[in-house]
Amino acid sequence: MIETITQPWPWYVAGTLIGLIVPALLLLGNKHFGISSNLRHICAACFPSNIPFFKYDWKKESWNLFFIGGILVGGFLSAQFLGSSDPIIVHPDLAKELAGYGIDDFSGLVPVQLFSFDNLFTAKGLIMMIGGGFLVGFGTRYAGGCTSGHAIMGLSNLQWPSLVATISFMVGGFIMANFILPYILSL
What size, in residues, is the chain? 187
Is 12 among the domain residues?
yes
Query: What pTM does this model have?
Result: 0.73
Which tens digits make up the pLDDT trace of 129-170? Answer: 899 889 888 888 888 888 888 888 888 888 999 999 999 999
Beta-carbon count within 10 A of 86 CB: 7
Is 109 among the domain residues?
no
Of the candidates 128, 115, 117, which has an alpha carbon nearest to the alpha carbon of residue 187?
A: 128
Is 28 among the domain residues?
yes
Q: 135 lies in which domain range?
A: 114-187
- Using DSSP, state whether 40 is helix, strand or coil: helix
* Position 4, amino acid: T
Q: What is the pLDDT of residue 160?
A: 94
Which tens digits make up the pLDDT trace of 37-94? Answer: 888 888 888 887 778 878 888 888 888 888 889 989 988 887 787 766 777 788 999 9
Q: H-type helices in the chain, by residue range?
A: 2-6, 11-29, 37-46, 62-81, 92-99, 123-125, 132-143, 147, 155-156, 160-175, 181-185
Q: Per the structure, how many domains does the chain have?
A: 2
Q: What is the pLDDT of residue 44?
A: 84
Helix 62-81 to helix 37-46 angle (10° resolution) is: 110
Mark whether 76 and 120 lie in a shared domain.
no
